Chain A
Amino acid sequence: MSANVEDLDWLLKYAEKRGFDYIEARHHALKIQDFNILNGLTTSVNQSESAGFSLRVVKDNIIYFFSSPSKEKIKEDLEYFHPLSARPWSNSFGKVEDIFVGEYKVTQKTPLDLVSLGEKIKFMKNVMKDVEGIKISSKILSFELIYIELFEKKDIITSDGASVHSEIPRVWNMYSIVMREGDRSINAFSDELGSAGGYEVLNSWNLQEYLSEKVKSFNEVIAKAKATPSSISDIVLSGQIAGIIAHESAGHPFEADRVLGREGAQAGMSYLTGRDIKSDRHFASESVSVVDDPTLPYSMGFFLSDDEGVRARRKFLIKDGMISELLYDRSTSSSFGVKSNGSVRTSDFTAEPIIRMSNTFFLPSSITFDEMIEDIREGVFIKSFMEWNIDDLRWSQRYVGLEAYEIKQGELGSPVLFPVFEANTGQIYNSIVAVDNNLSFYAGMCGKGEPSQGVPVWMGGPDLRLRGLSLKKLGD
């Protein structure tokens, strides 16, 4: 038994004497190394290490959460503990059958600590130098690269027998670039490159080439893009936009705690609130299936046990256009008369375990992109986006295209300037007439809870073809 597990066992046993209905103890360590390169200068180099305990207990259906780096301070709080006068929101806090007992780790082919910090900074500076050296007509006003590596180690035990040890390294790369030509400017910020694994994942992205192509493409947009066409038959959205749509308008509103109103004052509720999802299941066109799957190897949202000690699995949120299941924890599953499907995560030892997405994406089909667009006479393909948002019921959405191109007679044409796609969830999901076979994933940090906690996720999907919706011009 490791030192951390001994401490957790000590906390659990102490809490058991206090007569709680459910007890969950966690030791959570997070080591982060990050740096920023701005216009060739190293502006920050940071190392952070957080490690500590959390204890979650349930008494008469009210959840109490204690957190401290010191187990003794948690014990002090338990000694002082007075339950609130009962007005519990939760109906019950269920025991589960799919308890996880064991350990899992993501392997690093090139361990992150084998490569020195100096080498990592030098690599990024060289990437920046190469990209800034590209000949383009517009001026790069600012270029920032951000490198982050995270190593997360967790031990969790519960009063109903779960025992989990996990170790997950992750590498994440972000960039921001501001370019100007004449009276047009562009500001791209991207956090899409992220994976679980060792230093090898950074090499797999081929950053020089990737960012060089991006800068050339942004230059094309501000130098040559035409106004958004007013009349089109079809909109094609890339896997990147499919990903954010899946995350924002399928993942979040399918969180059972949000459906039941637990996040009502913060991130809002869901268009599914009040709907009988067992009998009223039609949701989207038959081409649409959306899953949340934490078991994808090397994904940002990878886990095999959730933070309530429940075994993780792929969840179909939408299957062939029909509502299939929500994301549940031990508390909300009982309200819906189902079992928890292991959807709980936390960001660090100070964070309360709550329902979170992992890797949320549209499932692909077998047709190619060319086959999917070959009969589009006039349309627009939006490849990447800048601004996006969605209302707190997850219904009214907006995405502003960054790299976008007209489609003429089944082929991609000139760039289109910042098309605005504003539509509601029902319109979007029912207008999807085809999806292709290009499944791609994009990293992100998903925020939820109070205090807000960010957890790493992947979002993704194939390219989507939508019929019958229109685009707006920026400023209209």
Chain B
Amino acid sequence: MDKVLDKLRKSCDSFSLILLDNKSTMIKFADSKVTVVQRWKTSPVSLLLSRKNKFLTTTFSTIHEMDTNLESLNEKLNLLEPTDMTPIISNNDRTIKVDYSDKELEYYLKEPNKLVEKILDSAEMPLYGTLNLVKIRKRVFTSYGFQGDETRSFNVSYFRSIDKGRSGQWSNVSSIFNESEIIEAVKKSKEYASIDGEAQIEEGKHDIVLSPMVLANLVEIIGLMSSAYSIMSSMSFLAKSKEGDIVASEKFTLWDMAKNDLVGSYNFDDEGTLTYNKPIIEHGVLRTFLFNNSLAKKFNKKSTGNAGWVDPKPWSLQVDGGDADEGSLTDGNVIFFNNNWYTRLQNYYEGQFSTVGRDAVIAYKNGKPIGRVKRVRISDKLSVIIKNLVELSKTTYKQMWWEVETPTRVPFALIKDVMLTKS
């Protein structure tokens, strides 16, 4: 490693080198059976090279490949033109080494058989889903002498129960192995799949309740849109606002969580800046966009520790819980969305989007479930979702699945006057 770092020091003005060491086991289920067992042992390497306001980012499968290509990368770098957007390495020469890995989780990563049996035995309906067990070590070395070394393990599991044309889904993510949380996700998916009956609703504005799975999906998009790169490219509805503006209901507080038990959290970013927790939106007020060093310079701000050499990103996201009991959110006439998928933006600058309801969209009348609503979309603006938010549940849930890639902890949310369409 020292030889590689020496070579890098000699070859460029500044660099940042990221080494990942990833071991993971994923088991996929369909119809309460195992479709595939996947096992990875990978060690990808990312490198940022910069010289005289020129820069190049690279990724390779191994450090050996990166080393072999270093000379040609430097030649390539020479031929580039300078740009104002060259990433800036933080003036930080600290060394950090932490290990948050969980031995029990590592055991199941190697020997998942018993856990698989328990999951399948706990299914009361045909079960579909994924169990993913991961151990990852991330090391960052920069030209300023920063050395970060962090090891984490985590599991991501999500389950869908499907029976008689009805489905329910729930997900769970944790950096500490907790078998009961995994089994609880199986049971919760079955509870939602058990809700019977069919209800018809008219297209138009409705009061809706979003489960943590749906809110996590929409909040993830808002989190990505709070990147200063999205603001610079006008690919965000927040681009029209500045810090201090009211952009949401006073009940809505969205955090970027770098110090957290969620799996996306790290103590340092890709430029060697130490990370910290921060509200992006606090009680409805826009507090900060997410910056790396070069975008911070462009916006005359300080880095928020969210590099991303080019595009800053949230580590993990959290929406603070509110005052309500979960059950009270559906007390009136509302449409409850347990899950959603295929969220697409029509216009990032306006935040206009639609997303398809899935896995138990339930109509409630006077607080009583009257049946499942089929083929309904939320078709509105992201700003409406966070401005019209009127109640949040006390309890929050950790979510991550196919449609939620950033680990997110969120409550249930009641939102007034949201446009729903059907086909």
Q: Which residue numbers of A lie inside 8 Å of B, CB to CB?
A: 36, 38-39, 41-52, 62-70, 73-74, 76-77, 80, 82, 84-85, 87-90, 116-118, 121-122, 141-142, 144, 176, 178, 180, 185-187, 189, 260-269, 349-350, 352, 386-392, 395-398, 400, 418, 420, 422-424, 450-452, 472, 474-476
Residue of B31, B62, B346, B402 with highest tally of chain A CB at under 10 A: B346
How many whole Å from B108's CB to the nearest CB in chain A? 13
How many whole Å from A187's CB to the nearest CB in chain B? 4
How many whole Å from B37's CB to the nearest CB in chain A? 5
How many whole Å from B352's CB to the nearest CB in chain A? 7
When distances are taken between beta carbons in the complex, the residues of chain B under 8 Å from A266 are: 130, 402
- Are B35 and A262 interface neighbours, CB within 8 A? yes
Residue of B42, B58, B120 with highest tally of chain A CB at under 10 A: B42
A-B contact pairs, 23 of them (CB 8 A): A38-B85, A39-B232, A43-B83, A47-B57, A49-B69, A62-B34, A64-B37, A65-B37, A68-B41, A76-B41, A77-B39, A80-B110, A141-B234, A142-B233, A187-B347, A265-B30, A265-B129, A391-B375, A422-B422, A424-B375, A450-B26, A450-B28, A452-B402
- Are A88 and B29 interface neighbours, CB within 8 A? no
Chain B residues 12-51 with CB under 8 Å of chain A are: 26-44
Is residue B146 contacting chain A, with contact meaning CB distance below 8 A? no
**Cα of A136 to Cα of B130 in the assembled complex, Å:** 51
Which residue from A262, A350, A391, A397 sits with its C-beta under 8 Å from B30? A262
- Are A48 and B354 interface neighbours, CB within 8 A? no
- Are B356 and A50 interface neighbours, CB within 8 A? no
Measured CB to CB, the nearest residue on chain B to A64 is: B37
Which residue from B33, B81, B423 sits with its C-beta under 8 Å from A88? B33
Q: Report the count of interface residues on B (CB-CB < 8 A).
A: 84
- Are B61 and A51 interface neighbours, CB within 8 A? yes
- Are A89 and B34 interface neighbours, CB within 8 A? yes
When distances are taken between beta carbons in the complex, the residues of chain B under 8 Å from A186 are: 347
Is residue B273 contacting chain A, with contact meaning CB distance below 8 A? no
**Cα of A450 to Cα of B405 in the assembled complex, Å:** 12
Is residue B355 contacting chain A, with contact meaning CB distance below 8 A? yes
- Are A389 and B169 interface neighbours, CB within 8 A? no
- Are B32 and A389 interface neighbours, CB within 8 A? no
- Are A265 and B128 interface neighbours, CB within 8 A? yes
Which residue from B83, B120, B160, B233 sits with its C-beta under 8 Å from A264? B160
**Cα of A73 to Cα of B113 in the assembled complex, Å:** 21
- Are A67 and B39 interface neighbours, CB within 8 A? yes
Is residue B266 contacting chain A, with contact meaning CB distance below 8 A? no
Which residue from A67, A397, A475 sits with its C-beta under 8 Å from B40? A67
How many whole Å from A34's CB to the nearest CB in chain B? 10
How many whole Å from B416's CB to the nearest CB in chain A? 17
Is residue B5 contacting chain A, with contact meaning CB distance below 8 A? no
Question: Interface segment, B213-221, B322-330, B336-344?
Answer: B336-344
When distances are taken between beta carbons in the complex, the residues of chain B under 8 Å from A76 are: 41
When distances are taken between beta carbons in the complex, the residues of chain B under 8 Å from A48 are: 58-60
How many whole Å from A420's CB to the nearest CB in chain B? 8
Measured CB to CB, the nearest residue on chain A to B375 is: A396
When distances are taken between beta carbons in the complex, the residues of chain B under 8 Å from A398 are: 354, 377, 379, 421, 423
> 5 closest Cβ contacts across the A-B interface?
A387-B346, A264-B128, A265-B128, A389-B342, A422-B423
- Are A118 and B33 interface neighbours, CB within 8 A? no
Question: Interface segment, B72-80, B251-259, B282-290, B390-398?
Answer: B72-80
When distances are taken between beta carbons in the complex, the residues of chain A under 8 Å from B28 are: 262, 265, 450
- Are B233 and A144 interface neighbours, CB within 8 A? yes
Measured CB to CB, the nearest residue on chain A to B28 is: A450
- Are B344 and A388 interface neighbours, CB within 8 A? yes
**Cα of A87 to Cα of B158 in the assembled complex, Å:** 19
Is residue B56 contacting chain A, with contact meaning CB distance below 8 A? yes
What does DSSP make chain B's interface, helix, strand, loop or mixed? strand
Given the interface contacts A42-B81, A47-B58, A118-B79, does A82 sit within 8 Å of B111 by beta carbon? Answer: yes
**Cα of A261 to Cα of B85 in the assembled complex, Å:** 46
**Cα of A46 to Cα of B48 in the assembled complex, Å:** 9
* Given pairs A263-B30, A387-B345, 5 additional interface contacts (CB within 8 A): A41-B84, A88-B33, A187-B347, A387-B347, A389-B355
How many whole Å from B228's CB to the nearest CB in chain A? 12
**Cα of A260 to Cα of B30 in the assembled complex, Å:** 9
Is residue B250 contacting chain A, with contact meaning CB distance below 8 A? no
- Are B235 and A187 interface neighbours, CB within 8 A? yes
Which residue from A42, A69, A187, A267 sits with its C-beta under 8 Å from B62? A69
When distances are taken between beta carbons in the complex, the residues of chain A under 8 Å from B203 are: 476
Which residue from B31, B59, B85, B379 sits with its C-beta under 8 Å from A89? B31
Measured CB to CB, the nearest residue on chain B to A178 is: B234
Is residue B313 contacting chain A, with contact meaning CB distance below 8 A? no
When distances are taken between beta carbons in the complex, the residues of chain A under 8 Å from B379 are: 398
Measured CB to CB, the nearest residue on chain B to A421 is: B423
- Are B344 and A49 interface neighbours, CB within 8 A? no
**Cα of A121 to Cα of B41 in the assembled complex, Å:** 36
**Cα of A243 to Cα of B117 in the assembled complex, Å:** 43
Which residue from B34, B43, B130, B356 sits with its C-beta under 8 Å from A396? B356
- Are A42 and B85 interface neighbours, CB within 8 A? yes
- Are B79 and A397 interface neighbours, CB within 8 A? no
- Are A185 and B350 interface neighbours, CB within 8 A? yes
**Cα of A69 to Cα of B159 in the assembled complex, Å:** 31
When distances are taken between beta carbons in the complex, the residues of chain B under 8 Å from A85 are: 113, 116-117
Residue of A49, A82, A269 with highest tally of chain B CB at under 10 A: A49
When distances are taken between beta carbons in the complex, the residues of chain B under 8 Å from A64 are: 36-39
Given the interface contacts A141-B234, A392-B356, does A261 sit within 8 Å of B31 by beta carbon? Answer: yes
When distances are taken between beta carbons in the complex, the residues of chain B under 8 Å from A89 are: 29-31, 33-35
**Cα of A474 to Cα of B379 in the assembled complex, Å:** 9
Is residue B162 contacting chain A, with contact meaning CB distance below 8 A? yes
**Cα of A87 to Cα of B113 in the assembled complex, Å:** 11
Given the interface contacts A389-B344, A395-B375, A398-B421, does A176 sit within 8 Å of B235 by beta carbon? Answer: yes
Which residue from B65, B73, B348, B419 sits with its C-beta under 8 Å from A187? B348
Given the interface contacts A118-B80, A144-B233, A475-B419, does A389 sit within 8 Å of B343 by beta carbon? Answer: yes
- Are A117 and B80 interface neighbours, CB within 8 A? yes
When distances are taken between beta carbons in the complex, the residues of chain B under 8 Å from A450 are: 26, 28, 130, 402
- Are B37 and A49 interface neighbours, CB within 8 A? no
- Are A38 and B39 interface neighbours, CB within 8 A? no
**Cα of A70 to Cα of B30 in the assembled complex, Å:** 31
**Cα of A87 to Cα of B356 in the assembled complex, Å:** 32
- Are B162 and A84 interface neighbours, CB within 8 A? no
How many whole Å from A32's CB to the nearest CB in chain B? 9
Measured CB to CB, the nearest residue on chain A to B171 is: A265
Is residue B349 contacting chain A, with contact meaning CB distance below 8 A? yes
Is residue B276 contacting chain A, with contact meaning CB distance below 8 A? no
- Are A63 and B35 interface neighbours, CB within 8 A? yes
**Cα of A388 to Cα of B345 in the assembled complex, Å:** 8
Which residue from B120, B234, B341, B343 sits with its C-beta under 8 Å from A142? B234
Is residue B353 contacting chain A, with contact meaning CB distance below 8 A? yes
- Are B81 and A451 interface neighbours, CB within 8 A? no
Measured CB to CB, the nearest residue on chain B to A397 is: B423
**Cα of A87 to Cα of B83 in the assembled complex, Å:** 56
Given the interface contacts A42-B83, A262-B30, A265-B129, does A187 sit within 8 Å of B350 by beta carbon? Answer: yes
When distances are taken between beta carbons in the complex, the residues of chain A under 8 Å from B419 are: 475
When distances are taken between beta carbons in the complex, the residues of chain A under 8 Å from B32 are: 87
